[in-house]
Amino acid sequence: MCEALGCMTIPHLLITGGAGFIGANLVHFLLRENLADRITVIDALTYAGNLRNLAFVQSDPRFQFKKIDITNQPAIQQLFATNSFTHVAHLAAESHVDRSILGPAAFVHTNVLGTFHLLEAARHAWSGQIAEPAASNRLLFLHVSTDEVFGSLGPTGAFSEESPYQPNSPYSASKAGSDHLARAYHHTYGLPVVISNCSNNYGPYQFPEKLIPLMILNCLQGKPLPVYGDGRQVRDWLFVEDHCRALAMILQAGEPGSTYNIGGSWERPNIDLVRDICAIMDRRHPDGAPHSRLIEHVADRPGHDRRYAIDSTRIQRELGWSPTPAPDAALERTVDWYLENRHWWKEILSGEYAGYYEKQYGSRG
């Protein structure tokens, strides 16, 4: 791993949203591979932020956690004023399309205003360092975004870094707005910003409302497997560990002002992916077989994008990254993780995990 990632360790990394799905996986990856000397995680611990996701690293001396909402401007300013971050990985976001349709205000508040507060704090911290010659004083700001900002594709082609923005949901529109802010802070102020746009992730610690964990858990519980419309919507699926490896490479060697698309090169119609999960569950949990009998087609959601696909040529060519050549095996690993970690998702479904932060840190944080 050291050869592939250039052996450079990150002196002090701030990860926003680090108790969420991708953020927690990134923390685990960086510490396991010894790629960071120090990691500070902030998270508001809303419904999808779970400190249990970080249970295995809480005793690591390289790790610290702070309960901070990125929309809390004074807290963000204080955070940057009292820490010498060399890198920022900004992953904190409201991210579920269905929730954005029902309540778009929270998405604009967190994804746009929260990103603005982070960029402002980072700009002021960085501008105080630009006279310093040491490379460690460069504050690289990695803004992690989604392929959904590009809208919907036809039956062929893929999104590149030059694709026009055409967001179709309140979620993707709010992420597009945050992307534009991040890009503007680089071009206007010179802040070293890099943007990444990823395809749909899957893997351990994903909140159960998302497609893959929802199907796994519903199979286990004998509940219907709801599939929107005809189920022929196509997504390019990216194993979360591959995504974390790409983010580590960008943090180490990404070119400020650049955008990197990260995709799994594994396009699957939703209905086919659900059937894949059913087949795995038939082998792992034969008592409920055939699980495909639980599939139910439901009314499509408003403005549902038909197809996403990512062209990852730039990050493969410039940084040497590539996705797993065995996504089927990664999907099986994901199913196995949910089967082996029932306590994790049972706490979420019961709501018991909500008090874990107070047990660990006390009510003050």
Q: What is the pLDDT of residue 129?
A: 60
Q: Token match 């995680």: residue?
A: 41
41 vs 56: CA distance, rounded Å: 14
In Å, how far are 107, 130, 152, 294, 302 from 98, measured between CA atoms?
11, 42, 16, 22, 9
Residues serving a catalytic function are 147-148, 171
Confidence band for 182, pLDDT divided at 50, 70 and 90: very high
Residue 131 has pLDDT above 80, yes or no: no
Domains and CATH numbers, the chain: 13-203+237-265+304-327 (3.40.50.720)
pLDDT in tens, 260-288: 999 999 999 999 999 999 999 999 999 99
Neighbours of 3 (CB within 10 A): 7
DSSP string, 206-234: --TTSHHHHHHHHHHHT--EEEETTS--E
Confidence band for 4, pLDDT divided at 50, 70 and 90: low
- Written as six digits, the tokens of 324 are 């797993």
- Whether this prediction's pTM lies above 0.85 is answered by yes
Cα angle for residues 159, 164, 170 (degrees, 5° grid): 95
pLDDT in tens, 299-308: 998 989 999 9
Dihedrals phi, psi of 266, to nearest 5 degrees: -135, 85
229 vs 77: CA distance, rounded Å: 45
Dihedrals phi, psi of 225, to nearest 5 degrees: -105, 95
